[in-house]
A = this chain, B = another copy of it.
């Protein structure tokens, strides 16, 4: 039976990963770690034996004990304070809860001498402000982090490199682009748009005003179900020490996203950009190339953007 440790277990991505594992029909034993208890039932996944421990990854001694007892063969390190906006307000806390927790984790595995493969999740934010001629972004592009969050992620990646080359550990790294999908928190831009527009619809409106940040920025959105199948492919077939973009390869402006949602809900939307919602130093256009992960692992993305939006609308439709 495969033993997989998942950090950031109670977050958005984790239970989609469990669903993905459950569909593969192989028996798996999971140890999930998170600060907070998961909001989903952990015992209803077929062929998955699942245990959860509430833990702060900054408490290295506790991490040591749990990992020593569990002896994982795979580690999916999802834990992260992944908000760029939060990192501008709380750079120290953001850094500690990205880079320092990662360092605690990998160093525990090193000290205990556990032979396992670790997937270190990074971010497209690592690339920073990219000129149009570098689009779509390949993994060779130099990183130029422009926010505290992005710095923390590049630091994590540099540490991964040292743990691979200097200590011989088996780590694969991602630079993951924007995720979307049902149940993503409304802190993020797409669910925030959908939620507001679904509420207009519920109130019987046919038109409305949407307060936004800069809607000209272009992002690469990948459905969370494709994200987890990419993570699974990388755990199984990624090359040790390599970095992989996890993305759709398609760019969409936030304006296009608003238009699509409005169209599906038959709403007429007026966009009002609010200067207070525009972030310092934000990147204009972020679209990745997914050639490398496709070529080296056989992964393919399955879910069209329109289907993601339909499912997100359906999700908010069911919420009072």
B-facing residues in A81-107 (Cβ within 8 Å):
88, 91-92, 95-96, 99-100, 103-104, 107
A142 adjacent to chain B (CB < 8 Å): yes
- Contact partner, A91, options B91, B107, B148, B151, Cβ 8 Å: B107
Question: Which residues of chain B have C-beta atoms less than 8 A from A165's C-beta?
Answer: 146, 281
User: 29 interchain pairs (CB within 8 A)?
Assistant: A60-B92, A88-B166, A91-B162, A92-B103, A92-B104, A92-B107, A95-B99, A95-B100, A95-B103, A95-B159, A96-B100, A99-B155, A100-B100, A145-B161, A146-B165, A146-B166, A147-B166, A148-B159, A148-B162, A148-B166, A150-B162, A151-B155, A151-B158, A151-B159, A151-B162, A154-B155, A155-B158, A166-B280, A166-B281
Chain A interface bracket (under 10, 10 to 19, 20 to 34, 35 or more): 20 to 34
Question: Which residues of chain B have C-beta atoms less than 8 A from A147's C-beta?
Answer: 162, 166
Question: Which residues of chain B have C-beta atoms less than 8 A from A142's C-beta?
Answer: 142
Specify the chain B residue showing the minimal Cβ separation from A154.
Answer: B158
Per-residue B-contact encoding for A113-152, CB less than 8 Å = 1, 0 else:
0000000000000000000000000000010011110110
Q: Can you add 13 more A-B contacts, CB < 8 Å, to A100-B100, A151-B158?
A: A91-B107, A92-B103, A92-B104, A92-B107, A95-B99, A145-B158, A146-B162, A146-B166, A147-B166, A148-B159, A148-B162, A151-B159, A154-B158
Question: Which residues of chain B have C-beta atoms less than 8 A from A104's C-beta?
Answer: 92
A99 to B158, CA, bound (A): 13
Question: Which residues of chain B have C-beta atoms less than 8 A from A107's C-beta?
Answer: 91-92
A282 to B312, CA, bound (A): 51
